[in-house]
């Protein structure tokens, strides 16, 4: 039998679903008498077909035999899964570019096919048998007992087949042929790993012939929110009995019919902070369905987004369905863990980038409390490359090339309709998103109008509407959405009323979290909170998309990114761009976000008098009896006072608080920390400086140092201490205390850092002038009295020196004062850092410091850290990013002491704040290795003291680093003291 003859739909955009049931709201029926509020697996009408399926893999559709259903299966595969993670084919990561030639609607002949087969035992119970696939990439041809049953595409949406007529009592065979590519691939060009297969749950539903086909739950509130109506519209051939229960499980009434409603006085409303849900029980014949309803109203009023009449801010993240070992498949436990982790980080909103998630995800968001921008399975980003292949003819507007093709109009609406009809009953969904980065066209305009007819209770979002090839605008969208704007754009929105049209602004992507970042979160949120027309922002993105690829000898997981599987077309490590590692360990960026998203902000009204302003940033929750605020007052990290506050601050309001112990304090560097806890869980902190004296280290000159200038160096000796300064480099090449050499190799002036991902736009300039290879040229070096003075430059080849320096070493009672006067080349855009690097012996292993800790901190990334006294070992300071880069620095430091065998060996002090790092890796090692598991530790520990380190920003995809965070001074002085 030639079963391949049915493979005629995957290159025909007008044939999207053959033999499938119409899309409808997600629900699972239970048998009458069962508790339909239980997990779906407990329904007697639900049979989960996950597990081991027989499997045949063909690298090309032309390798598949005509009678492929009659051949004996050669392999097995677990369902759900991506077949590339099961040893069949290779994963491919690409961001923008299509993985296939741009030749719609056609796809390559070398189109891999996976043929899945399993036995199904059918009981002769007279019930309809509905076979459900919740996610298949990219399309599916279904056969039952060798007979063609149907076809469907749209990877992240549900496909249902009524296979009743093809089954017989007893054993049957279900076969699904899944193609890697179809014409839908042109509309599924999302920034993610490209993988295939049956990747979500598969199950059989046993249904009555006159059961529920669909139902819609709507909630309507009156103007003052004192009364509500819950209406239920049921598509069925018989009347249904519907009962309504309150959030505290009190039965409020029951109605019979197919169009019915319940009126509720003083309703308990749903929001992400208090996700209160009413329960609807629907009985139709011998079937029972439970639906949870949230009473809430989403509106845009005078450019402000409101939930239940309250202006809100979405403190959001973008989330892909991705796990390092299961790929696209997410179990309910994994989904719940993600949501709970987000909530613990003060996230209140998620955008499902860039496709609908599992139906279970939304149910969990309803119960646990997250707002959702629900995004259609639609992205055609690669069109911009295809359109401009042979010349940049119409700029970025070329992104609309695919969606302007008339043959895709039907598919565009189909993807929108399937999203909305499946998730229409979910209270967590506050916006429908038409997709991502596809440009705009008449098909989108018409689809947006149809969406409003399907559901006018939510806002419509779509960022890519600004890019068109037809020159038309858009009037269909409810919000203005932008990606990665400058902070000033947020501050000044709306720049143009014509563009805004009275609509609110949402940053659907911002603060690109790739690698060591993001470094601009606090700046954005200062402006977001200050502009009532900005409803919030969503960090890109939640998780590093690294694929687990075995373990190292010491048991660490290796993570692969783009190109590691030998893909010709790939975008490297651009998928390693999350707030959390693949295994959900937190990046320091996640901790940064947590504290920026904190629910309570504190400012000093008058610190000298102990008066503070506490501001509740929550939208619906009072900071009251369930909250605890602990405060601690310290001077240079040493505790002075502590106490507890029980606050009573309504949402969106402020309170003045007087703390007597904070009034009138003087000292050296006095801070007060406010730590906030809800239900015993840390929700963030605020630190305020109460007093800081002008710093000045008392350095006493001492002429008892013996300076000798023989050979290649100048040596200074006194009381068992010895410093040797190279005449060739003018920098310290030996440091001996109590007869022990502390250095492994000479130190040096340092202007470079191992580029972070966010240095993407500037690192080329740094490498061009060889900042990573600079060598000193000493013009003069003299020793006189207790001083060594040198004039030198730092350069390498081709160009003028990057910088000129005057160095002065002055010797005193406790050590040496190092004064560095620098003049940076005028052509330099900005430096990554400027300071001095010391290569200490491995025995110098511990640091104690006064500065921002305990996490890595930078001038624009220290919201997660606080000024204080900290202790650490070098290996503990390394942040093990999957792609190695600069890490572990600490800004705002006053002093650092390094310990050798638990005895203080050397101390660094400066009269001005400085940055330092103390790591077991050199910057050369970090810059040269592509993966963390390839790193080799230095045989000592590397200490960098920096006058300043440029900020980290989020320029890997966002705007350039803010000017105020750049080290762009051309003349500077840096003085520090090396005490030993």
Q: Which residues are catalytic?
A: 437, 509
Calpha distance 327→255 (Å, rounded): 44
* Listed residue (843, 632, 820) closest to 730, CA to CA: 820
User: Which burial class, exposed, middle or buried, applies to 29 when counting CB atoms under 10 A from its CB (0-12, 13-18, 19+)?
Assistant: buried
Calpha distance 465→662 (Å, rounded): 53
Sheet holding 287-293, edge to edge: 30-31, 287-293, 278-284, 240-245, 251-257
Cβ atoms 295, 270 nearer than 8 A = yes
Cβ atoms 948, 961 nearer than 8 A = no
Instruction: Name residue 136's beta-bridge partners.
Output: 198
Helix H, strand E, coil C: the string for 100-132 is: CCCCCCCCCCCCCEEEEEEEEEECCCCCEEEEE
What are the phi and psi torsion angles at 63 (to 5°)? -85, -15
* Listed residue (551, 586, 574, 545) closest to 933, CA to CA: 551
Calpha distance 52→30 (Å, rounded): 26
Work out the angle at residue 261's Cα, subtended by the Cα atoms of residues 257 and 265, and round it to the nearest 5 degrees: 150
Work out the angle at residue 70's Cα, subtended by the Cα atoms of residues 64 and 75, and round it to the nearest 5 degrees: 65
Contacts of 35-44 spanning 24+ positions with Cβ under 8 A: 36/281, 36/288, 36/289, 36/290, 37/279, 37/281, 37/290, 44/206
Listed in sequence order, the residues at least 6 apart from 965 whose beta carbon sits closer than 8 Å to its beta carbon are 519, 859, 860, 950, 951, 953
Calpha distance 24→27 (Å, rounded): 9
Residue ranges in 512-587 assigned as alpha helix (H): 521-530
> What's the alpha-carbon Rg for the chain, to the nearest Å?
32
User: Which burial class, exposed, middle or buried, applies to 923 when counting CB atoms under 10 A from its CB (0-12, 13-18, 19+)?
Assistant: buried
Maximum alpha-carbon separation in the chain: 105
The number of CA neighbours under 13 Å toward the Cβ of 859 is: 20
CA distances from 755 to 365, 588, 823, 883, 958 (A): 38, 17, 23, 10, 16
Cβ atoms 184, 139 nearer than 8 A = yes
């Amino acid at each position: 039998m030639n079963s391949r003859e049915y493979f005629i739909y995957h290159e025909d955009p007008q044939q999207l679903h053959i033999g499938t049931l119409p899309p409808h709201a997600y629900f699972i029926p239970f048998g009458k008498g069962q508790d339909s509020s239980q997990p779906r697996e407990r329904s007697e009408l639900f049979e989960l077909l996950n597990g081991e399926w027989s499997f045949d893999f063909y690298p090309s559709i032309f390798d598949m035999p005509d009678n492929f259903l009659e051949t004996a299966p050669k392999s097995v595969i677990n369902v759900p899964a991506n077949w590339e993670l099961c040893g069949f084919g290779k994963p491919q990561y690409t961001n923008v570019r299509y993985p296939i030639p741009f030749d719609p609607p056609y796809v390559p002949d070398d189109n891999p096919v996976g043929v899945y087969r399993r036995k199904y035992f059918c009981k002769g119970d007279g019930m309809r048998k509905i076979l459900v696939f919740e996610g298949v990439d990219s399309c599916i041809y279904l056969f039952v007992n060798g007979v063609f049953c149907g076809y469907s595409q749209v990877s992240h949406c549900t496909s249902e087949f009524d296979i009743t007529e093809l089954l017989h009592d007893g054993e049957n065979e279900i076969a699904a042929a899944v193609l890697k590519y179809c014409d839908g691939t042109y509309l599924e060009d999302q920034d993610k790993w490209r993988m295939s297969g049956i990747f979500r749950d598969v199950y059989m539903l046993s249904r009555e012939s006159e059961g529920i086909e669909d139902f819609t739950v709507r909630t309507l509130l009156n103007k003052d929110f004192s009364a509500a109506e819950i209406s239920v519209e049921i598509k069925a051939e018989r009347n249904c009995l519907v009962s309504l229960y309150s959030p505290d499980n009190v039965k409020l009434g029951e109605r019979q019919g197919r169009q019915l409603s319940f009126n509720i006085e003083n309703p308990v409303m749903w929001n992400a902070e208090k996700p209160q849900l009413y329960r609807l029980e629907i009985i139709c014949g011998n079937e029972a369905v439970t639906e949870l309803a949230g009473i809430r109203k989403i509106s845009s009023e005078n450019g402000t987004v409101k939930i239940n009449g309250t202006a809100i801010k979405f403190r959001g993240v973008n989330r892909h369905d991705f796990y390092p070992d299961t790929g696209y498949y997410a179990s309910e436990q994994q989904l719940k863990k993600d949501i709970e982790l987000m909530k613990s980080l003060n996230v209140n909103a998620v955008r499902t980038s860039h496709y609908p998630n599992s139906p279970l995800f939304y149910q969990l968001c309803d119960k646990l409390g997250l707002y959702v921008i629900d995004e259609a399975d639609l992205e055609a980003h690669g069109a911009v490359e295809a359109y401009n292949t042979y010349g940049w003819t119409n700029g970025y507007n070329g992104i609309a090339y695919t969606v302007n093709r008339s043959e895709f109009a039907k598919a565009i609406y189909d993807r929108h309709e399937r999203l909305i009809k499946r998730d229409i009953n979910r209270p967590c969904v506050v916006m429908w998103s038409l997709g991502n980065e596809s440009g705009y066209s008449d098909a989108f305009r018409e689809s947006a109008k149809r969406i409003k007819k399907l559901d006018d209770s939510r806002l419509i979002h779509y960022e890519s509407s600004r890019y068109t090839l037809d020159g038309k605008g858009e009037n269909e969208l409810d919000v203005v959405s932008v990606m990665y704007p400058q902070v000033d754009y947020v501050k000044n929105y709306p720049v143009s009323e014509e563009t805004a049209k009275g609509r609110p602004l949402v940053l659907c992507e911002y603060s690109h979290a790739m690698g060591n970042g993001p470094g601009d979160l606090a700046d954005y949120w200062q402006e977001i909170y200050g502009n009532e027309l900005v409803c919030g922002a969503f960090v890109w993105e939640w998780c590093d998309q690294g694929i687990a690829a075995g373990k190292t000898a010491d048991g660490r997981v290796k993570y692969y990114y783009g190109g590691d599987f030998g893909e010709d077309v790939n975008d490297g490590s651009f998928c390693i761009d999350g707030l959390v590692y693949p295994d959900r360990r937190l990046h320091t960026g996640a901790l940064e976000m947590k504290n920026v998203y904190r629910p309570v902000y504190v400012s000093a009204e008058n610190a000298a008098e102990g008066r503070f302003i506490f501001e509740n940033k929550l939208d619906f929750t009072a900071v009251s009896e369930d909250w605890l605020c602990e405060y601690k007052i310290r001077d240079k990290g040493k505790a002075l006072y502590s106490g507890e506050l029980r606050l009573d601050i309504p949402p969106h309001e402020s309170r003045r608080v007087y703390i007597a112990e904070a009034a009138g304090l003087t000292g050296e560097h006095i801070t007060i920390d406010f730590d906030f806890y809800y239900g015993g869980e840390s929700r963030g902190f605020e630190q305020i400086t109460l007093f800081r004296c002008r710093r000045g280290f008392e350095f006493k000159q001492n002429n008892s140092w013996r300076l000798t200038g023989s050979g290649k160096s100048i040596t200074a000796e006194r009381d068992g201490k010895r410093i040797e300064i190279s005449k060739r480099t003018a920098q310290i090449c030996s440091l001996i205390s109590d007869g022990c050499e502390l250095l492994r190799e000479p130190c040096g002036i340092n202007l470079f850092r191992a580029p972070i991902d966010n240095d993407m736009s500037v690192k080329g300039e740094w490498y061009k002038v060889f900042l990573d290879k600079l060598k000193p040229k000493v013009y003069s070096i003299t020793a006189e009295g207790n001083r060594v003075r040198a004039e030198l430059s730092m350069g390498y080849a081709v160009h003028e020196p990057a910088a000129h320096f005057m160095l002065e070493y002055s010797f005193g009672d406790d050590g040496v004062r190092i004064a560095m006067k620098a003049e940076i080349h005028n052509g330099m855009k900005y430096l990554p850092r400027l300071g001095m690097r010391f290569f200490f012996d491995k025995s110098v292993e511990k640091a104690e410091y006064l500065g921002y800790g305990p996490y890595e901190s930078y001038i624009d990334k220290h919201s997660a850290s606080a000024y204080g006294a900290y202790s650490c070992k070098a290996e503990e300071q390394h942040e093990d990013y999957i792609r190695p880069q600069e890490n572990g620095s600490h800004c705002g430091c006053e002093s650092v002491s390094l310990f050798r065998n638990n005895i203080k060996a050397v101390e660094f002090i400066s009269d001005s704040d400085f940055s330092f790092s103390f790591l077991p890796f050199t910057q050369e090692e970090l810059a040269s290795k592509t993966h963390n598991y390839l790193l080799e530790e230095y045989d000592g520990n590397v200490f960098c003291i920096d006058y300043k380190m440029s900020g980290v920003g989020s320029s890997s995809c966002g705007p350039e680093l803010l000017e105020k965070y750049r080290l762009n001074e051309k003349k500077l002085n840096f003085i520090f003291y090396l005490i030993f």
